[in-house]
Structure 1
């Protein structure tokens, strides 16, 4: 398409990508929205839908032709997610994209305890090798997920021990991403560890959830054996169960600890704490 926006945004039908797309539209940015189904693309001023998937290299290359900056939200969890990422990164480079902004994970490393953190690291390496400029947004655990961890009985179960995490609100990640996308040249080659303002344990998180939601929430520290047994009934494949359990063991290992100033550096505002997040969520 001639005169298509040079900024391409993925994930606009999801939570994080949708927030980013809306914030960009409010700021007056033109964008092409890369979606699987054009009918599901949000209707935003200055936004044009382009249909593609991560796995279809040629389709992605066509959808990205003429784009200079790409916001790449990591694909939905799947056994072949890394292969999807590789195909999409390669397509972006072939299409002439100059700068890719990728949502990675806090502590991404080849030996990360959180199994999917290893895939994020491998994706970063593929992007670095592509020749494109890059910015990595390494998101900590989402504050938004914390209320969802409790079962119907109000218990959060997992082998996290007394470990802590600097969990971050999805809204703060979106605001940070928009700051980068609005002036990407300032962020070339940068990796930002995006966190909330404090370290919290799941036991403390349960206390704050109880106070903030009116629902009684507690934390039960499972053993590894208990963690795998309690998730067996879901019938999920082994890689998925490993990912679920290793979310907690990564917390226990201290790999999600350590608040940073990155959100403030990018947005000019302090990130939301869990208490603030819950208060905002209940005033919407």
Structure 2
């Protein structure tokens, strides 16, 4: 049995869709915090259970019987992600899960300026210490994030960022499909497993791509970090979100998102979606 956490979300929900193309619904379980969202899964014959990392008591029964368990990482920048992941991992071990898979990130590192990367690294260390077989899906930075990380370039004609470097912009849809393929492989992938697009363009290069796809001249501008933070505040963005996003640009400048890997192409049997696709 394969149990998918966060099944009501975009990433693991898409993974579940792909798994339903590969195996019977009665071999799958969807878990979510709010079971009011369960009906679409029930209609397809998938068992639904409630699981909330912030409510550890909900987890052991939710994970019971899992040959493989796909843990989605916390996406709340204000939460203690490591503590939430600890609750899920402890419950998985207690439930006797056969393999734990975790949606990590290619930039999982203890010194990453973008703090989710530090959380991912800590969670991977946690998984390695359990003694349970595990797979960390180190996904590339999701390409749909360009909608806000590249700024309102269609309106302004400028991609203005406080830091630049290569980023292997990876389609969330492709990462979800790859996760389903890896789950269906029944343990063929072990430990850290990098899943990225095949190229890692900089924002300066994306300005050229944006010009091509939009038919207008899009300039690239590297801003002073404080000027960028001040501009975010003037636009009404909360200070904690500006600080959170600034860490991304600092990590990009530091090369944390630069790596690419052919595995995603091999798994999909086609060229993965590109940053050009996301901009278009």
* RMSD over aligned Cα atoms: 2.2
Q: CA deviation at 1:68?
A: 1.9
Partner of 1:194: 195
Deviation at 1:213, TM superposition (A): 4.9
Q: 1:185 to 1:271 in 2, by over 3 A?
A: same
> Aligned equivalents of 1:55 and 1:276: distance in 2?
36
The number of residues matched between the two structures is 271
Residue pairs, 1:1-284, within 5 angstroms: 6-29=1-24, 30-41=27-38, 43-44=40-41, 45-77=44-76, 78-149=78-149, 150-151=151-152, 153=156, 155-161=158-164, 163-189=165-191, 191-213=192-214, 217-233=218-234, 234=236, 236=238, 238=240, 240-277=241-278
TM-score of the superposed pair, with normalisation by structure 1: 0.87
3-state SS in 2 of match to 1:43: helix
Shift of 1:216: 6.4
Question: Unpaired segments of 5 or more residues in structure 2?
Answer: none
- How much has 1:252 moved relative to structure 2? 1.0
Out of 94-103 and 23-32, give the one that drifted further. 23-32
Q: Deviations over 1:154-192 (max 9, x none)?
A: 54432223x211111112111210111102321133x22
In structure 2, how many angstroms separate the alpha carbons of the residues matched to 1:14 and 1:261? Answer: 26
CA apart distance, 1:140: 1.6
TM-score (normalizing by structure 2): 0.88
1:56-78 C-alpha deviation (Å, 9 max, x unpaired): 22211111111121111111223
How many Å separate the matches in 1 of 2:214 and 2:98?
45
Tell me, in whole angstroms, the C-alpha distance in 2 between the residues paired with 1:231 and 1:243.
12
Contact 2:197 2:274 in 1 (8 A): yes
Does the 8 Å CA contact 1:116/1:243 hold for their aligned counterparts? no
After the TM superposition, which of the residue ranges 74-83 and 217-226 deviates more from structure 2?
217-226
State the secondary structure of the residue aligned to 1:185.
Answer: coil
CA 1:134–1:153: 2 relative to 1, 3 Å: same
For residues 130 and 213 of structure 1, do their structure 2 counterparts lie closer, same or farther at Cα, with a shift above 3 Å needed?
farther
The equivalent of 1:3 in structure 2 is none
CA-CA distance at 1:278 after TM superposition: 5.4
Structure 1 range deviating more: 34-43 or 60-69 = 34-43
The CA deviation at 1:109 is 1.0
Q: Show CA shifts across 1:122-149 (max 9, x none).
A: 0111111122211111112111221333
Tell whether the 8 Å contact from 2:233 to 2:239 is kept in structure 1 after alignment. no
Aligned to 1:282: none
236 and 278 in structure 1: CA distance in 2 versus 1, 3 angstrom threshold: closer
